[in-house]
Amino acid sequence: MAFSVVQNCRRRFVSGVQPRIGRGMVMRPISHKVSTVNIHNAEPTRLSPLNNGVRVASEPSPGHLASLSVAVHAGVAHERSGLNGVANLLQQAAVKSQANAVHDIGATLTGHTSRETTTYTISCLPEDTEKAVSILGNIVTGTVSQSAFEEARQEAISHRRALWDVVNEEIVMDFLYSAAYQQTPFQQSVPGEIADLKKATVEDVNAFRTTNYTGSNVVVSASGAVDSGKLTGLVEKSFNDVPEGHSRVFNSRIPFTGSFMHVRDETVDEVQVAIAYETFSYNHPHALTLDVLKELIGQWSNRSLTGTYGSPRLAEGFAQQKLVERYHTFSHYYRNTGLFGTYIVTKNLGKLDDVVYHTFNEYQKLLTYISPEELFRAKNSLKTKILFAEEQSDTRSRYVGEQVLNLDRRLSPAEAFARIDNITVSDIHEVLDHYFYDVDPAVVAHGDLDEMPDYVVMRNWTYWNRW
């Protein structure tokens, strides 16, 4: 097995050569800070708890659309054994049951289920805010009908079967969770297993709602053209029947297992690899540092307009040596654990070992040296993504709800920017040294794996070549 090292090929300007300045053009110094005038002038988030424990977070912003979200601390991790997929079935059936009401006001309603959280988001005209709140209230407090449940179940089963016909990123990530969180609720897939979906009943779905959709686990958030003063009263009226319940407290760490799952399939012409490390929860002091690290490792696709000159070092090495079709870095936070890693797709099967080696070795390179230019780019990239999310009222309302649910407060863009500006190379090295150096990763690979390295070799790459 041949190992090679990606050369650190960085572009440099020739000494003494200055870029030409056309007539009327003025050279201005690069600003190392994004303007924060608007985010500092934004109206603060108003947080109001109701008597039953439901929290209401409103954050008006300029625009002609009102977006409201409900974030519930109820996901796959809270399902009973043998009923995998019930949380997602409830979400889909609840959305379907309100389709006519949503259609009547010309609004849009979406739902999403993860391993710990279920969210519903509705966007409408400001004058329909009361009806939108009522729709969300019906989702949280109502019961799922047999017809809506059967329709949702058939769609879920069809979706799951289609995924097995063509193994994609969603399936690979399910494999990754099942390998990394063995014998824990986190190993279950979000859509659910077909056998569990077939035996689930509408009574199971409604029981899941009764148990988990309680006041202390629910946050209603709003953004856009909303009236904070009226919103609390509307939510109190529509969510009055939500039982009080008790807030979940998780004090124990979710066990993480370093492991390797290889799914051999010689009928496909590409290999998918997911490499992940155990990290930390939402409220960790270095959460934003990890987000900056994510931007440092970056992403790239052979369809990217950057061609072979991607800004991240890993992207540049992959592109210039034509090793991968695409890759991206992911970071998933939960209340007592986190998963950080890279998903890769390659058709260069003869150099699969090089692809995996370069991915592991990138962490060692970052431990050795991070240039000021790289850190500047990564910080600005993260700020850009935050601002992009804040510009969309539906995404903003969902983020506000999820932050209040998981952090018990809103992390404003102004605070996030200040924290990002204060991140240093030493902070990134501290995270790398503690969570990525000499540790047991979780690895999943699918495809023709003749050149895939052994797990012991990959484990050694977590500390080799540290200069």
d(CA 223, CA 123): 10
CB 352 within 8 A of CB 449: yes
Give the model confidence (pLDDT) of 45-78 as tens digits: 899 999 999 999 999 988 889 999 999 999 999 9
d(CA 261, CA 41): 50
d(CA 256, CA 276): 11
d(CA 77, CA 332): 14
What separation in angstroms does the CA of 61 have from each of 232, 396, 404? 17, 10, 18
Mean pLDDT of the chain: 89
Contacts of 38 (CB under 8 A, 6+ apart): none
d(CA 93, CA 99): 10
Q: How confident is the model at residue 18 (pLDDT cuts 50, 70, 90)?
A: very low
Alpha carbons within 13 A on the beta-carbon side of 9: 14
Q: How confident is the model at residue 30 (pLDDT cuts 50, 70, 90)?
A: very low
pLDDT-above-70 percentage for the chain: 89
Number of Cβ atoms within 10 Å of the Cβ of 183:
8
With a cut of 50, say whether residue 31 has pLDDT above it: no
Q: Write down the pLDDT at residue 165.
A: 78
Can you read off the two tokens belonging to residue 159? Answer: 């979706």
Can you read off the two tokens belonging to residue 81? Answer: 């054994």
Q: Write down the pLDDT at residue 466.
A: 63
CB 456 within 8 A of CB 260: no
Q: Write down the pLDDT at residue 251.
A: 62
Contacts of 15 (CB under 8 A, 6+ apart): none
Mean pLDDT computed over 182-194: 94
Work out whether the CA dihedral 294, 276, 408, 52 comes out positive or negative: positive
d(CA 225, CA 211): 33
| Residue 52: strand, helix, or coil | coil
Q: Write down the pLDDT at residue 41.
A: 67
With a cut of 90, say whether residue 163 has pLDDT above it: no
The DSSP line for 266-322 is: TTSS-EEEEEEEE---TT-TTHHHHHHHHHHH--EETT-TTTT--SSHHHHHHHHTT
Give 55's strand partners: 49, 219
The number of angstroms, rounded, from the C-alpha of 179 to the middle of its chain's C-alpha atoms is: 19
The alpha-carbon radius of gyration of the chain (Å, integer) is 24
Nearest Cα neighbor of 423 from 369, 378, 361 is: 378
217-244 as b/e: b if 16+ CB within 10 A? bbbbbbbbbbebeebbebbbebbeebee
Give the model confidence (pLDDT) of 197-227 as tens digits: 999 999 999 999 999 999 999 999 999 999 9
The two most distant CA atoms of the chain are separated, in Å, by 75
Contacts of 305 (CB under 8 A, 6+ apart): none
Mean pLDDT computed over 280-287: 95
Q: Write down the pLDDT at residue 6.
A: 28
Q: How confident is the model at residue 10 (pLDDT cuts 50, 70, 90)?
A: very low
What separation in angstroms does the CA of 400 have from each of 2, 56, 114, 390, 396? 49, 10, 17, 10, 6
Q: Specify the DSSP element, H or E, that contains 120.
A: strand 118-124
| DSSP conformational letter for 190 | S
Can you read off the two tokens belonging to residue 329? Answer: 């870095």
Can you read off the two tokens belonging to residue 236? Answer: 């109190």
d(CA 307, CA 325): 12
| Residue 47: strand, helix, or coil | strand
Mean pLDDT computed over 141-147: 93
Q: Write down the pLDDT at residue 85.
A: 95
Ordered by where they begin, the domains of the chain are: 47-238 (3.30.830.10), 259-460 (3.30.830.10)
